[in-house]
A and B are shown apart, each in its own frame.
Chain A
Amino acid sequence: MHSRANKILLLVSSLAALALLGSAAVRENWLQEWKRIQRSYAKALPPESRRDFRVQLRQIVVPRLRVSDRCVSCHVGMAPGEQGISGDRVLSKHPNVHHDPADIGCTVCHGGQGRATESAAAHGDVSFWPEPMIPAGQAYAGCGTCHTHLAVPSMARLEQGRALFERSDCLSCHRLDGRGGTMRTGAAGGMEGPDLSRAGAVGFDEKWYGKHVSRSGEPAAAVWRGAVRSLSQDDQQALDIFLSSRVGAPGLIEAKALFHSLGCRCCHKVGGIGGDDGPDLTRVGQLDPGRLVFDHVPGERTVQNYLAEHFRAPGKVVPGSLMPSMGLSETQIEALNLYMFSLRRSELPEAFWPKDRIRAERFGAREFASDGATLYGAFCAACHGADGRGMRYAGMPPFPAIGGRDFLSIASDSFLAVTIRSGRPGRRMPAWGSPGGPFSESEIDGIVRHIRGLGEGTPFAGDSGPRRWIVADAIRGESLYKANCSLCHGPGGEGGEGPALNNQVFLSSASDLYLLETIRGGRGGTSMTGFASGTNVSSALAPSEIEQLVAFIRTWEVKQ
């Protein structure tokens, strides 16, 4: 029995425990990252402010948003009431943006873990934090947390407006996204127009052009003379569209316009509108990197890398993916990433909903412009091609060409409208019109008009006869079908290389003339040859034989 030994053991372990407690105390009070940073901030302050500065935990608390953001404990310059150290990466003031961080906190726009006080944890670069910060350089994606910009046009239209804006020398009087504005400040002779960086958000006078023209006509306004070019109606509209897209988030609306030009919504839903073949992208910006599979993604395990690699080669990143490689350039991928990160849609208390989100979610306002060109670009281009020539992706049946002369001359507007409205049930073409689809009749008409104008534009040649007039021997037609058509269209008309012929929507909207002419003349630029003239593997079909084929095809039509 070793009382002495126990005493020594007690002493040693007590001293060790004290040492551990001491080290914990030191770690807590002196070695904490944010305290060190605040001390260096205090050193960099001018002497008169240094006296009033206290090293303490700082946070922005907005109870209704359930936000307690301690980012400002390290980023002291951004705390309300602090002056910031210019040029320092950590300690500078917050860049001038419309929203004051003191009102909504930091994580609403930037993501990350607001409650943390260590930099890695706060930036969300740790395991088990599902929402890491939006990457540097893409901060404007954070706008998507609350905002849903409406009526974004296709890229081409937006760029048209931007080009006009630059060419019309608007920047000599107006600032936009930090550029331009008059060099002549002050009252006499100098006059600056309003900053247009947020023209889309605050609104602008829709009669601005007329007013500009009348001002430039005034004899006394020297500075106005020659300031306004003459613009056509279409040019004015393009400029209006461009101005509406200026919301103080440079790059974001351009990214969204790019998204609306590549036909992504063909397969993906955003905000409830789109196709079903791919996952819903409404909240893709909030992907949890801890749940993604990075086996085939090189580099860091960030959502940014994942999305970029996915755009480059979807089948590599997600084995078994239906998404084809789109052939995007790196700048396009970067822009699309920005848009992807903006798809956040956090749950917000209603008092914080901006007008655009209320209009989008309560009143069904469209996020995309409703002109035919934008709709086609947003919903159709990925499958049918931007030029309507169809698309062929590796490992998939080809998507039909719809812009060719041969097709458009025999396809009536109503045929096109029915196809768009009802789709091809059971096949890849979804129903876009009511019931079940999102488009209104006027939107469908717009798309039809756009399709009509593809290439050089092809009018409908007209069809005076009834929809069905062919009477012929379907049994003969069956053997002809087996010999000539089944290879591409499937033995039961279910499709393959060629479209499905047994589809009920197709059969009920196509006229016999349409079918006849397609078989007779074929479709230039596709695998469908004209069977009226022979090929080197089959002889020509007589007109009666073609009618028999049509009669056979009609046997698949189910009488309503």
Chain B
Amino acid sequence: MTGSSSGQSAMGRPSEGRCPDGRSALARFGENLRRAPRELRDSMLRSGSPATDRSRSAFVFSSLFLHVHSVRVHRWSLRWSTTMGLGIAAAAAFLVTLITGVLLMFYYKPYPDVAYLSMKDIHFVVPTGRFIRNIHRWAGNVMVVLVLLHMARVFYTAAYRRPREFNWVIGMLLLVVTLGLSFTGYLLPWDQLAYWAITIGANIAQSPRELTDALGITHLFDLGGIQKLLLLGSDQVGEESLIRFYLLHVMILPLALVVLLSVHMWRVRKDGGLTRPADADLRLPPITPATYPVFTEAPQRTYHLAAVVKGRTPAVGNGPENCVPAMPHLFYAEAAVFMMTVLACLALALLRDAPLKELANPAVPENPAKAPWYFLGLQELVSYSAFMGGMGIPLVVILGLLLIPYLDREIAGTGEWFGGPGGRRVVARSAFFGLGSVILLEAFAIRFGWIRQWWPESPQLLITLINPGTVLTLLYAIFSLWAIRRFDSVRAGAMALFTCFLAGFVVLTVIGVHFRGPNWDFFWSPSDWPGH
């Protein structure tokens, strides 16, 4: 009959015990009924409204959803220029995609032909169907972009260094899962765009055959065939592939993403929060009334003993001087980032419809058949050598990225943008070199062709080893080794290589998206394509 919890109340509600004033039970009942709405609200906030240090702290750590955050946040971490909110924005894009995806699941039917008709129904008939589908498509693309930008931010601020190496690895896994989500979702509309893009992707998965055929060992070890069969569930894209991709897209990969994301954010906590430069405290402006509320009393960090803290974690040994309560500072920042991401997705959804071409027709290939945009740089390399573009170079890139935290063991410049020996200079030079080499190499190959145009009898193995992709990789590797020597720093070499990789990725993707037309020939503009 009483409305309070067992004794504890941070708010100072009048504790209800027995009623000594002798009111009747019915009167008490009426009184409680009248007070029920306010009691409901108060019971939802177990620690009461966050108005004191203690209640602000309790607001965070006693909430299931919020306690993944730390109670106190360093002021440096809250600056826009530190992270630009990219990680939160990527998570926000994921959340938007998740919610709109679940809504779409009410109407989408994952069998060939019926899938396409259900997409038409969603677009034309289902209330808000067109809008929700557009949001879903755009949020997915926005998520991929944000994840890539987030990776670049983490790299350039050297936030992968000890003890955060494994979080970087988890981040790479998250990147792969994100690309996997986008790729599996691409097939679901079952239109010409979807069908042929996934056919391209599956054939790229089959690309090890180029190597095993050239070596003559395909009948012994057909890695390409195995990969393609695993991916498609059949020899070609069909009913099996659709079910498989649907399962991956709505269940397996989202679960994997949520689990990995939880580990990722937990590790940020355990690593002591976001990376800061060693002199971050000195560089922060003094606390002004505008930065209130702040902690007014020295904390009793009793919860700190829940973790064994090793020596180098930045939080150890520092006082709380530059830490502010997560509630409200961090949460307002996160909410702002979240809302702006949502706004961007909504705006894009209203401006441009998600594409839907004709019903998938295995007898009529798209020409050009293009993979999703984030794979078009890869497809451009595949057009020179299937194995190198499809497996070789991507593996090298992923391996290189994974190894960065283990190769760069320096400490200078952690937490700074372009921190470390070389700094902005090496990044600028690498950007120049990276752009220049990829543009020149592509221009050469487009204008003059490559080995087979000059010597038609040349063996495939030669082209597999020497093609614009491998040449570019070699150039970038040489350049980064030069940077290591020149600046006497592994970090400088890492920055050189990463910047070159970014430049190459962007240029190759732009070429694949815009400048390649039917038969993968070069055209200055889609309006030049024959027959269009």
Whether B339 lies near A1 (C-beta < 8 A) is no
B333 to chain A, nearest CB (A): 5
Whether A70 lies near B124 (C-beta < 8 A) is yes
Whether B339 lies near A116 (C-beta < 8 A) is no
A325 to B192, alpha carbons, bound, how many Å? Answer: 36
- Nearest 7 CB-CB pairings of A with B: A13-B339, A9-B336, A10-B336, A128-B357, A6-B332, A1-B78, A115-B120
Q: Can you list, as one digit per residue, whether each of A142-178 has a CB less than 8 Å from chain B (1) or not (0)?
A: 0000000000000000000000000000000000000
Q: Known pairs A117-B125, A291-B364. 19 more at Cβ < 8 A?
A: A1-B78, A1-B324, A1-B329, A2-B80, A2-B290, A6-B329, A6-B332, A6-B333, A7-B336, A10-B335, A10-B336, A13-B336, A13-B340, A17-B342, A23-B350, A68-B121, A70-B125, A113-B120, A293-B530
Question: What are 30 A-B pairs at a CB distance below 8 A?
Answer: A1-B78, A2-B290, A3-B290, A6-B329, A6-B332, A6-B336, A9-B336, A9-B340, A10-B335, A10-B339, A16-B343, A17-B339, A17-B343, A20-B350, A21-B346, A24-B350, A68-B117, A68-B121, A115-B117, A115-B121, A115-B125, A116-B120, A117-B124, A117-B125, A118-B124, A128-B192, A128-B357, A288-B358, A290-B358, A295-B531
Residue of A nearest to B342 (CB): A17
Number of A-B residue pairs, CB cutoff 8 Å, is 85
A contact residues vs B (CB 8 Å cutoff): 1-4, 6-7, 9-10, 13-14, 16-17, 20-21, 23-24, 28, 57, 66, 68, 70, 113, 115-118, 121, 127-130, 288, 290-291, 293, 295
Residue of B nearest to A288 (CB): B358
Whether B125 lies near A57 (C-beta < 8 A) is yes
B127 proximity list for chain A (CB < 8 A): 28
A152 to chain B, nearest CB (A): 31
A290 to chain B, nearest CB (A): 7
A127 proximity list for chain B (CB < 8 A): 357
A279 to chain B, nearest CB (A): 16
User: Residue among A6, A10, A17, A70 with the most chain B CB within 10 A?
Assistant: A6
Residue of A nearest to B135 (CB): A24
Whether A128 lies near B358 (C-beta < 8 A) is yes
**A20, A24, A116: the one within 8 Å of B343 (CB):** A20
A417 to chain B, nearest CB (A): 41
B336 proximity list for chain A (CB < 8 A): 6-7, 9-10, 13
A339 to chain B, nearest CB (A): 25
Whether B131 lies near A28 (C-beta < 8 A) is yes
The reply on B79 being an interface residue by CB < 8 A is yes
Residues of B in contact with A, size category: 35 or more
Residue of B nearest to A116 (CB): B124
Residue of B nearest to A13 (CB): B339
A403 to B85, alpha carbons, bound, how many Å? Answer: 88
A293 to B346, alpha carbons, bound, how many Å? Answer: 37
The reply on B24 being an interface residue by CB < 8 A is no
A21 to B347, alpha carbons, bound, how many Å? Answer: 9
Residue of A nearest to B118 (CB): A115
Whether B357 lies near A24 (C-beta < 8 A) is no
Q: Can you list, as one digit per residue, whether each of B337-370 has a CB less than 8 Å from chain A (1) or not (0)?
A: 0011011001100100000111000001000000
B125 proximity list for chain A (CB < 8 A): 57, 70, 115, 117
User: Residue among A13, A118, A288 with the most chain B CB within 10 A?
Assistant: A13
**A4, A24, A115, A291: the one within 8 Å of B131 (CB):** A24
Whether B343 lies near A128 (C-beta < 8 A) is no
**B121, B329, B346: the one within 8 Å of A3 (CB):** B329
Q: Can you list, as one digit per residue, whether each of B80-99 has a CB less than 8 Å from chain A (1) or not (0)?
A: 10000000000000000000
A4 proximity list for chain B (CB < 8 A): 290
Residue of B nearest to A8 (CB): B336
Whether B358 lies near A129 (C-beta < 8 A) is yes
A250 to B356, alpha carbons, bound, how many Å? Answer: 38
A28 proximity list for chain B (CB < 8 A): 127-128, 131
The reply on B300 being an interface residue by CB < 8 A is no
A7 to B332, alpha carbons, bound, how many Å? Answer: 6
B328 to chain A, nearest CB (A): 6
Once A115-B121, A116-B120 are accepted as A-B contacts, the answer to whether A13 and B343 lie under 8 Å apart by CB is yes
B112 to chain A, nearest CB (A): 13
Once A1-B329, A7-B332 are accepted as A-B contacts, the answer to whether A20 and B339 lie under 8 Å apart by CB is no
A121 to B123, alpha carbons, bound, how many Å? Answer: 11
A3 to B192, alpha carbons, bound, how many Å? Answer: 48
A14 proximity list for chain B (CB < 8 A): 339
A37 to chain B, nearest CB (A): 15
B137 to chain A, nearest CB (A): 15
A57 to B127, alpha carbons, bound, how many Å? Answer: 11
A496 to B228, alpha carbons, bound, how many Å? Answer: 54
User: Residue among A10, A118, A127 with the most chain B CB within 10 A?
Assistant: A10
